[in-house]
Structure 1
């Protein structure tokens, strides 16, 4: 009996130990409210809100970095209001910008066109499928997800069950959504009940919660058999396993935004809006 108790205690301790840990590699400063980051052809591209996140002020821009975090050009591309989520398909960069999505040719560095999302108020994260279908979350006020397909943007789903959707990650017919939670304090974006990770079935539009309520979630990436997610309000970076259990990996300052994970390099990139920084971490198994 005593042996069984000891074994049970050891199993509990093993479950409490985080499966991963983060080690800082490099960090770039002097950014202006960086929100999202993507990798293309040996460089990183970072969206800078550079003002209020829902203000159409023309101040937003994209920064280009090398893979060591050195700034190649701070204002590589201007002409945005408050750019947030980024996504790349082939040689084009998609940029979520309040109520529109910009299409940027990465070879020429020019904005080729805009997709205006009717009814959108806070376009946020971008996820792109294997054939080029673009999904865009509309977080505050919208409770919606838009889709760009065949060179046109349309409302995919609008549902209160989306719980103020933010980070997106596609897996077959499932679109996983990291949610913020219903905002009850418009001044601070605070919530009485924080967000969850949920799954939207793209064929029948059904919505299922994967986790319990645990944070005001922003970025979402796949890692091994689960996900890594950022919490904008608390600054926490957490791992969600295949059972929906959440383990904290790192506590950073508030403002951790749309994270990116480069599997080949095993690097997690964390934009830190309120600190004006982008931090790169190595993810290691304990």
Structure 2
């Protein structure tokens, strides 16, 4: 089983993103407090600080949210919260429903029960540590995982981690099945086609000793058959996935500034574009072909027009993760990972 550490992302962005990231002893230093919203999150030695863009509004109380999806039926934002780490407590995650203005509609929609109560539900609820999410055909899909916890037979070891895509009814919130990706210990973002085909990214290992064979996009067919759809270059620690208007698969990399478009039929690379920043996480594609890309490393939102022109429309959003498009309010909603908040960027300008 392949490691999924993305230590380069964690160290730069100050995230606890990878479930397999090894614990490191802290470096002794003076006491400090965090900066206001902007970058860097922690005070720089030279005092450098740049505030978040004035056109960005941030609302908190959304715990450890990595992704979001827009529910057109409720006209609300669906925000999965990872809760505490799987290694701390299993089955702790939940899903909140958020209004357009950032206020909370439902604090805990899926997962209002505590972990001890969930096993007794009919059907039982399991939601451990969801990252990517998508809504398609009345189903909420979430990129979850099992394992990665203390081994009962030997507490000094951990059980193997395996990626699981869990499905829930958007009408009732009830579980609708799951698919395990046995070849991957963790996946980041997902995108689901109308026929139920799922595309999922494994960011893999980057940094000073990159492992390109761990950079993957997985494909889950409607019948549940799982395959590694793309592996290695031109992927470079892939994260965000979306479809364009032609049904092609668009992928953004953390390890570069590239925005890659692949044919869904055969995974052929059709187009390579460049965002205004590298270190990207989220991708939104509008019907007119305009793409928006969020940089979890550098904090900017790139607008990428169909002719390939890239410009920053917002800057210095800490840990700008896998954003979604809120069509009901014509805005981008940007989860901020460990900052426990959502940023809102209006496109109605």
Alignment partners' CA distance in 1, 2:172 and 2:249 = 31
Aligned counterpart in structure 2 of residue 210 of structure 1, from 254, 269, 273: 273
Q: List per-residue Cα deviations over 1:91-117 (Å, max 9, x = no partner).
A: 210001140100101222122211101
Aligned counterpart in structure 2 of residue 94 of structure 1, from 141, 146, 153: 141
1:143 maps to what in 2? Answer: 215
Aligned counterpart in structure 2 of residue 179 of structure 1, from 250, 253, 257: 253
Q: CA deviation at 1:149?
A: 2.7
1:273 maps to what in 2? Answer: 337
Which one has a larger percent strand, Structure 1 or Structure 2? 1
Would you say how many aligned residue pairs link Structure 1 and Structure 2?
252
2:300 maps to what in 1? Answer: 236
Structure 2 counterparts to residues 120-199 of structure 1, below 5 A: 120-141=184-205, 142-161=214-233, 162-171=235-244, 172=246, 174-181=248-255, 194-199=256-261
1:185 maps to what in 2? Answer: none
The TM-score with structure 2 as length reference comes to 0.65
1:6 maps to what in 2? Answer: none
The TM-score with structure 1 as length reference comes to 0.78
Is structure 2 residue 144 aligned with structure 1 residue 81? Answer: no
1:13 maps to what in 2? Answer: none
Alignment partners' CA distance in 1, 2:102 and 2:222 = 35
Q: List per-residue Cα deviations over 1:135-184 (Å, max 9, x = no partner).
A: 21122254222223324141241321121211112133521101111xxx
Q: Aligned in 2, Cα 1:173/1:75: closer, same or farther, shift over 3 Å?
A: closer
Q: List per-residue Cα deviations over 1:203-238 (Å, max 9, x = no partner).
A: 332235322794111110114442110000111111
Asked whether the equivalents of residues 254 and 274 of structure 1 are also in contact (C-alpha less than 8 Å), the reply is no
Q: Aligned in 2, Cα 1:91/1:84: closer, same or farther, shift over 3 Å?
A: same
Alignment partners' CA distance in 1, 2:265 and 2:89 = 35
Alignment partners' CA distance in 1, 2:136 and 2:275 = 33
Q: CA deviation at 1:269?
A: 0.9
Q: Aligned in 2, Cα 1:278/1:170: closer, same or farther, shift over 3 Å?
A: same
Structure 2 counterparts to residues 33-112 of structure 1, below 5 A: 33-40=64-71, 41-42=73-74, 43-52=76-85, 57-78=90-111, 79-98=126-145, 99-112=163-176
Alignment partners' CA distance in 2, 1:213 and 1:281 = 17
Q: CA deviation at 1:45?
A: 1.1
Alignment partners' CA distance in 1, 2:107 and 2:307 = 41
Q: CA deviation at 1:279?
A: 2.3
Aligned counterpart in structure 2 of residue 219 of structure 1, from 278, 282, 294: 282
Higher mean Cα deviation, 59-68 or 104-113?
59-68
Alignment partners' CA distance in 2, 1:92 and 1:33 = 22
Aligned-partner SS, 1:150: coil
Asked whether the equivalents of residues 257 and 277 of structure 2 are also in contact (C-alpha less than 8 Å), the reply is yes
Is structure 2 residue 330 aligned with structure 1 residue 283? Answer: no
Q: Aligned in 2, Cα 1:86/1:146: closer, same or farther, shift over 3 Å?
A: same
1:10 maps to what in 2? Answer: none
Gaps of 5+ in 1: 1-20, 182-193
Aligned-partner SS, 2:204: coil
Structure 2 counterparts to residues 2-17 of structure 1, below 5 A: none
2:262 maps to what in 1? Answer: 200
Aligned-partner SS, 1:147: strand
Gaps of 5+ in 2: 1-52, 112-125, 146-162, 206-213
